Amino acid sequence: MPDRHVVLSATGLYTPPFSISNDELVDSFNQYVRRYNAENAESIASGSLKALSESSADFIDKASGIHSRFVLEKDGILNPDIMRPQFVKRSDDELSLHAEIGIAAANQALAKAGLHGSDIDMVLVANSNMQRPYPSISVEIQAALGAGGFAFDMSVACSSATFGLQTAADAIKSGSATRVLIVNAEMCSAQLNYRERDSHFIFGDAATAIVLERNDLAAAGLGFNVLSTQLWTQFSNNIRSNFGFLNRCEIGNDPLSADKLFIQQGRKVFKEVCPAVSEHITHHLSAQNISPQNIKRFWLHQANRAMNELISRRVLGRDATEEEAPLILDRYANTSSAGSIIALHLHQADLQNGDLGVLCSFGAGYSIGSAILEKR
């Protein structure tokens, strides 16, 4: 019997105010490259330094499907002297930026669910990165919304949304929570190396929120039954960030060196993760006696267009249509844990009662998580 105890009643989305096109990003990157090559001309000529290669908007479009990305701050990223977002430092008494964008998404989800913050008894912030280790961003959001119960932060990189979803669903099933707010608030621009040609185009910023409720508490006809969830991890160094609290203590380690930002072996990730994700989804559906052909929608993690096309093709045995496996990465790029939830948020209104969908996120770890959802 499928598990019908938990309802995903509403979603919310915060989209940052600024968008950067591939052309703008490449123009800034290429200014940096030309300056670097000119300043190091002698060393490059003598062979002691390698010249940097320029980036191309055409390559980015073809290799990833990304046309633009939303960011919280644009000028610093595009300034070839800075090449990172710049935020005004807030005092400890002000709401943190991370909590602010999470709350913007959370308020939308709560309003759609017909709830107030005080109805929530568990807040989970599940992201790739946290603005600080403590106090938890989730506890800050819990206080700002007037939620009760308890709150904690967790991180499973790009898979944080589905890992959060299973954690929240388990809490509801066990009775330790009745209504959970999950926030995926991703400030990916702050962990991206805008001076690295292989990855400078990959990420964008966004925050999403979902409300999970015990089914007897959820308003009739709202959202989805969470039929089943499944998680998987297997260690890999192919997506990595060495940023951490030991950086300043490690002898010989430069706390500002590039390995403290996002680094990946993109081609290896592509080759290894696609089969793992399609097998994961196929096994999850088969364990629930559901044929992939009965799935109306796949809300997949949004990292790369070809990856999503390959995964859905392997699961379905044919190409998925745009309606079946919608893409949002053309406008949002990879927003880490928020990506599959943005797809869910923007592509659910047409579903009918009883329609089935698969939410699936995947990424560093490696990690893969999926949830089978049934429209109520």
Ligand X SMILES: CC(C)(COP(=O)(O)OP(=O)(O)OC[C@H]1O[C@@H](n2cnc3c(N)ncnc32)[C@H](O)[C@@H]1OP(=O)(O)O)[C@@H](O)C(=O)NCCC(=O)NCCS
Confirm or reject binding of residue 292 to ligand X (CB under 6 A): no
Instruction: Candidates 40-48, 59-67, 132-140, 318-326: pick the segment binding ligand X (CB under 6 A).
Output: 59-67
What CA–CA distances, in Å, run from 109 to 11, 54, 176? Answer: 5, 42, 21
Q: Are 220 and 117 in contact (CB under 8 A)?
A: no
Upper half-sphere CA count for residue 16 (Cβ side, 13 Å): 27
Tell me how far apart the alpha carbons of residues 257 and 212 are, in angstroms, rounded to a whole number: 40
Q: Which of 303, 320, 325, 333 binds ligand X (CB under 6 A)?
A: 303
Confirm or reject binding of residue 260 to ligand X (CB under 6 A): no
Report the amino acid identity of residue 316. Answer: L
DSSP output for 71-114: ES--HHHH-TTT-S---PPPPTTSPPHHHHHHHHHHHHHHHHHT
Instruction: Candidates 6-14, 175-183, 302-310, 348-356: pick the segment binding ligand X (CB under 6 A).
Output: 302-310
Nearest Cα to Cα of residue 157 among 130, 129, 181, 138: 129
> Which positions from 131 to 170 touch ligand X by CB under 6 A, shown as an x/- string?
---------------------------x------------
Q: Return the number of other C-beta atoms located less than 10 Å from residue 12's C-beta.
A: 25
Q: Are 211 and 179 in contact (CB under 8 A)?
A: yes
Comparing every residue's Cβ against ligand X, the nearest one is 266
What's the min distance (Å) between Cβ of 344 and ligand X?
17
Tell me how far apart the alpha carbons of residues 121 and 151 are, in angstroms, rounded to a whole number: 8
Instruction: Candidates 10-18, 52-60, 185-193, 218-226: pick the segment binding ligand X (CB under 6 A).
Output: 52-60
Confirm or reject binding of residue 328 to ligand X (CB under 6 A): no
Apex CA 336: angle with CA 309 and CA 170, to 5°? 100
- DSSP strand pairing (239-240 vs 263-264): antiparallel
Q: Return the number of other C-beta atoms located less than 10 Å from residue 252's C-beta.
A: 4
What's the min distance (Å) between Cβ of 216 and ligand X?
37
Nearest Cα to Cα of residue 230 among 132, 362, 331: 362
What's the min distance (Å) between Cβ of 238 and ligand X?
8
Q: Which of 197, 214, 260, 313 binds ligand X (CB under 6 A)?
A: 197
Q: Which of 103, 169, 211, 239 binds ligand X (CB under 6 A)?
A: 239
Catalytic-role residue among 158, 188, 274, 360: 158
Tell me how far apart the alpha carbons of residues 280 and 360 are, in angstroms, rounded to a whole number: 9
Question: Which residue, 178 or 334, is less far from ligand X as judged by CB?
Answer: 334
Q: Which of 264, 308, 312, 335 binds ligand X (CB under 6 A)?
A: 264
Active-site residue flag, 158: yes
Q: Which of 18, 152, 243, 270 binds ligand X (CB under 6 A)?
A: 270
Confirm or reject binding of residue 190 to ligand X (CB under 6 A): no
Catalogue the E-assigned strands of the chain: 6-14, 18-21, 68-71, 122-126, 150-154, 179-187, 205-214, 224-233, 239-240, 263-264, 295-300, 356-363, 367-375
Q: Which of 3, 27, 198, 324 binds ligand X (CB under 6 A)?
A: 198
Query: How many residues bind ligand X, per CB under 6 A?
Result: 20
Confirm or reject binding of residue 277 to ligand X (CB under 6 A): no
Q: Are 73 and 85 in contact (CB under 8 A)?
A: yes
Q: Which of 307, 310, 325, 342 binds ligand X (CB under 6 A)?
A: 307
Confirm or reject binding of residue 363 to ligand X (CB under 6 A): yes
What's the min distance (Å) between Cβ of 119 and ligand X?
33
What CA–CA distances, in Å, run from 162 to 190, 207, 231, 352, 364? Answer: 23, 15, 8, 23, 13
Confirm or reject binding of residue 266 to ligand X (CB under 6 A): yes
Instruction: Candidates 44-52, 115-123, 133-141, 300-308: pick the segment binding ligand X (CB under 6 A).
Output: 300-308
What's the min distance (Å) between Cβ of 319 and ligand X?
19
Q: Are 332 and 154 in contact (CB under 8 A)?
A: no
Nearest Cα to Cα of residue 276 among 236, 243, 219, 319: 236
Instruction: Candidates 88-96, 209-217, 222-230, 267-275: pick the segment binding ligand X (CB under 6 A).
Output: 267-275
Confirm or reject binding of residue 240 to ligand X (CB under 6 A): no
Which residues in this chain contact ligand X in the complex, by CB under 6 A? 55-56, 59-60, 63-64, 158, 197-198, 239, 264, 266-267, 269-270, 303-304, 307, 334, 363
Kindly list the catalytic residues. Answer: 158
